[in-house]
Amino acid sequence: MEPTAIPKQLLKEHDKLEAKYKKILKVNPDLNRTLVSFQANKHQSGYRWYKFKEGYSSALVLYYLNKLGIKSGKVLDPFAGSGTSLFVSAENGLDSVGLELLPICYEVMWVRRAIVNGDQKKIVKDIQNWLSEKPWKKEKKITQLEHITITKGAFPIDTEKEIGQYLTSVGKLKDQTSQKILKFALLSVLESISFTRKDGQYLRWDHRSGRRQGSKPFDKGEIKKFDKAITEKLTEMLTDLTSNSKKLTKKVAKIDIIQGSCLDEISKLKDKFSLILTSPPYCNRYDYTRTYALESVLLGINEQKIRELRQTMLSCTVENKEKENLERKFSKGVFQDANKSFASQKYLNEVLVYLEEIKKELNNPGIVRMVKNYFYELCLLIFESSKITKKGGYFVMVNDNVRYAGVPIPVDLILSDFASDAGFKVKEIQVLPKGKGNSSQQMGKHGRTETRKCVYIWQKL
């Protein structure tokens, strides 16, 4: 069946929106993929211990601190991830606050902050003793992992047993910081000792797992033995803590980490921020609860809690339902003003009407609800953010545009419209020199089309 032709009126409205922002849409040659993505972090001490690949680089944070002249005040990241915004800001003398829902991200930030602010000599000694004694190898009691459906059988039998012995040994430690750091080392090697590999929003299973394979069975290469993997990781941490001690243990400004959804927590913040720097989940159906399922299981997140997490996070998957009682979660006036702005965004609302009309042609009918709720929730967040941004302060966001059923959805321009209504001046929308291609499925139906990857810069009036 041929895809329905996109109405000319819809494309006309799209062109009008593009024309409105044409003068401030500027390609920034500095913004290569390495700078914007995690890639620039992967060899850096601290960041390389646990690779949270969805984050941006520490170099990008430093780039905008310098470019915007942020030398004092406080920094907020409402989607803190692994804490790149927080730690780089703190290293440069700026207090920072991070909001983060995902348990693995909170754990990563907690451990990194504990290492930076803690007794490094004791931490090094504890890791050295742990490595030399390897108490888990003598442990008889095995802590059982409470698997969820998508993680059952993720580890070889012997490996799962050793994980259980390791967890039991860690649980016997009296010092919370030591417990957290040694458990963090285990979190950092889970993928390498499992039959799985993170692949987009799913776990891809190696053929040795015994799971049913497609036409081309997947071989992930080496599946490390537990003892080898955990020893290498702890040794890597020790190396960084000793050889780069000045950098890793340098005194930094205050870092506050709040676990929870930014939609629940942002209105509770009492500070005024000089900079909000963040990258929300993209409107691309990416489900973090699946990608980080192994880590969640290790942190005791069961099936019910996974479902709750999925519904609590920003609507970016087709499984997200409409959130209830949002009007109670935002400051007085914000809810009404944001609703007015959302309703007045003509192009977005016409897109939603059109997608509803062709719902049967979409590969999942939940896409329409997801797109609507994604923009609605970010609209609320932007309005609340305006209230806590200092006059002259900045909101910098990294995000991608998307396309569904061939319809372009300029996330950058729609969110900038909301920001303008909320009291920000849209200073610039900086475009990466190379955009993102659409999926092979979309390419077959609608041709090869590149969508923008951007960094938006809004300044509080």
| Residue 278, C-beta contacts closer than 8 angstroms, at least 6 positions apart | 76, 77, 78, 79, 80, 85, 396, 397, 398
Which residue carries 């649980």 as its tokens?
171
- The pLDDT score that the predictor gives to residue 443 is 40
DSSP state of 433: S
For residue 389, list its beta bridge partners.
273
Query: Tokens standing for 276?
Result: 């909000």
Is the pTM higher than 0.85?
yes
| Residue 250, C-beta contacts closer than 8 angstroms, at least 6 positions apart | 91, 116
Give residue 459's identity as a one-letter amino acid code.
Answer: Q
- The pLDDT score that the predictor gives to residue 297 is 96
Q: How far apart are CA 455 and CA 426, in angstroms?
A: 11
- The pLDDT score that the predictor gives to residue 41 is 52
How far, in Å, are 155, 188, 219, 297 from residue 158 at the CA level? 8, 19, 20, 18
- The pLDDT score that the predictor gives to residue 250 is 60
Q: How far apart are CA 413 and CA 461, in angstroms?
A: 19
Q: What are the sequence ranges of the domains in the chain?
A: 8-101+253-460, 117-248
List the CATH code of the domain at 8-101+253-460: 3.40.50.150
Q: How far apart are CA 67 and CA 427, in angstroms?
A: 13
Q: Pairing relation of β-strands 453-460 and 389-400?
A: antiparallel
- The pLDDT score that the predictor gives to residue 332 is 83
Three-class DSSP category at 77: strand
Q: How far apart are CA 435 and CA 454, in angstroms?
A: 9
Each residue's pLDDT, cut to its tens digit, for the chain (461 residues) gives: 456 788 899 999 999 999 999 999 999 999 987 788 755 455 455 568 888 877 889 999 999 999 999 999 999 999 999 999 999 999 999 999 999 999 999 999 999 999 988 888 899 999 999 999 999 999 999 999 999 999 999 999 999 999 999 999 999 999 999 999 999 999 999 999 999 999 877 889 999 998 887 788 999 999 999 999 999 999 999 998 888 655 555 668 999 999 999 999 999 999 999 999 999 999 999 899 999 999 999 999 999 999 999 999 999 999 999 999 999 999 989 999 999 999 999 999 999 999 999 998 898 999 999 999 999 999 999 999 999 999 999 999 999 999 999 999 999 999 999 999 999 999 999 999 986 654 444 444 444 468 999 999 999 99
- The pLDDT score that the predictor gives to residue 120 is 86
Helix (H) / strand (E) containing 95: strand 95-100
